A = this chain, B = another copy of it.
Amino acid sequence: MENIKIDLTNAIPFIDLTDFNKYEKLTAEKNDLLKSKSGKGNEFLGWNNLPNEIPSELISEINLTAKHLNQISEIIVVIGIGGSYLGSKAVIEALSGNFDYLNTNKKNSTILYAGHNLSEDYHYELLNYIKDKTFSIIVISKSGTTTEPSIAFRLLRKEIEDRFGKEQASKRIVAITDSSKGALRELANKEHYKTFDISDDIGGRYSVLTPVGLLPIACAGFNIKDIILGAKSMLKQSEENPFNNNPTYQYAAIRNALYLEGRTIEILANSTPRLNFISEWWKQLFGESEGKENKGIFPASASFTTDLHSIGQYIQDGIRNVFETIISIEKTKYNLSIPTDIDNLDKLNYLEGKSMDYVNKMAELGTSIAHSDGQVPNIKISMPELNEFYIGELLYFFEKSCAISGYLLEINPFDQPGVEAYKNNMFSLLGKPGFEEKSALINKRLKKN
């Protein structure tokens, strides 16, 4: 069985190699902190051994629910923000064909998202688009009172109840929420929605392997069992492999070493557009875990070769505080070779009969060398192919590396205190009950300007 591999060839020259050896001990220590639950944020470690703990009954229940929703819906609207939508969207896009979104005859329902923004036009157009289609809702919120998903759920619940009647609507709504408390749990109990629990010990950005991520992924027609098997495989490697052969240790170590050398921007790059949303998921995972106490690596993304004709110039020649992590897929799904042309005006005949992926791989290799020569360290992550198993490995690889990396940085990788700041101001400006004093203060301050 092949696995995801990490290659540091083009990163090692940029750090002190003797010094790097210290990470052998450090990464194992940080992993022990996770296992013994004795580090910062230890109330949020439910994701750590999760791949070994998911009961097969839960998988069956998720698959049955997905089957039911598919049977009664052309569209399934997933309502959630942050970790409640990024994981499933990332996985669905990675596993779908590039043009599947245009296929109106596909076997599975189309998954659309709502409540991940406050755009009035977006939600108006969504309601307008689904008005003549059968649809269901998966609403994801631990509290049931987060502003964005709550507003979207009010709008969509009204639509579904008006269209199908309250009783039928209840069969078209699945709630993923707290197991016992909160507004959404209360409503779900009252209206007899099918529900799945959000554990207290798994934060949003670590929730992709819970029903939060798995139900929408199953609805889109993908094999969630294989995703979990992949995650399990990476968990095993991260527990058992020695430092030199442990991808999670290697990645956490090298990015910490590069950070200490002044590399404060990491670009996650790929060579296939299907991974673009994995980068969005990754940005939340690492940005929200590490960006605190005025520390952390700024997470950015690029898609090659596309963006070599965009921020490629900056990477090659800009400020030297950047490093890259490039995800490479070893095997394509399809085969397409470059046709011959008698005239050869475009001078491509030297590539005649070569696969397009061969050219892509040489571009990838050429880029790694060029960026390394331009003083940009780059890390290579190889995936044997793009399927459920390796996506599972990739997800858990990033989750575990991120936790270890956060501990190396000596922050709490599992909280997100900064996310409250905009919310508090928003509530004050909106005059939310309970924010009267803050409301008066912010309005006074704005008048002064």
Give the B-binding residues of A (Cβ under 8 A).
9, 81-83, 86, 97-99, 101-104, 110, 112, 116-129, 144-145, 147-148, 150-151, 153-155, 158, 183-184, 186-187, 190, 204, 264-265, 271-274, 280, 283-284, 287-288, 290-296, 298-300, 303-322, 332-336, 338-339, 341, 343, 345-348, 350-351, 354-357, 359-360, 362-363, 365-367, 369-371, 373-374, 416-419, 421-433, 442, 445-446, 449
Contacts and interface: CB of A to CB of B under 8 A. Distances in A.
Contacts of A145: 346-348
Given A118-B363, A186-B345, A314-B418, 11 more contacts: A86-B310, A98-B122, A99-B112, A120-B355, A122-B272, A122-B274, A298-B314, A299-B314, A309-B419, A312-B419, A315-B418
A336 B120 contact: yes
A50 B35 CA distance: 63
B351 A151 contact: yes
A421 to B, nearest CB: 4
B144 A345 contact: yes
Contacts of A82: 309-310
Contact of A118 (B291, B312, B320, B360): B360
A356 to B, nearest CB: 4
Which 6 interchain pairs have the tightest Cβ spacing? Answer: A291-B314, A82-B309, A366-B425, A316-B418, A291-B318, A118-B360
16 contacts: A86-B310, A98-B126, A102-B110, A119-B271, A119-B273, A124-B332, A154-B346, A290-B318, A292-B313, A295-B318, A317-B418, A362-B429, A366-B427, A367-B422, A369-B445, A370-B422
Contacts of A335: 120, 124
A42 B97 CA distance: 44
A317 B292 contact: yes
A287 B272 contact: no
Nearest to A82: B309
B309 A373 contact: no
A97 B312 CA distance: 30
Tell me the dominant secondary structure on chain A's binding face.
Answer: helix
Nearest to A314: B291
A316 to B, nearest CB: 3
Nearest to A185: B345
Nearest to A150: B346
Contacts of A334: 120-121, 124-125
Given A291-B318, A314-B291, A350-B433, A422 B284 contact: no
Contact of A431 (B150, B350, B433): B350
A153 to B, nearest CB: 7
A422 B117 contact: no
B99 A126 contact: yes
Nearest to A341: B154
Q: Among A101, A292, A426, A442, which residue has the most Cβ atoms of chain B within 10 A? A: A426
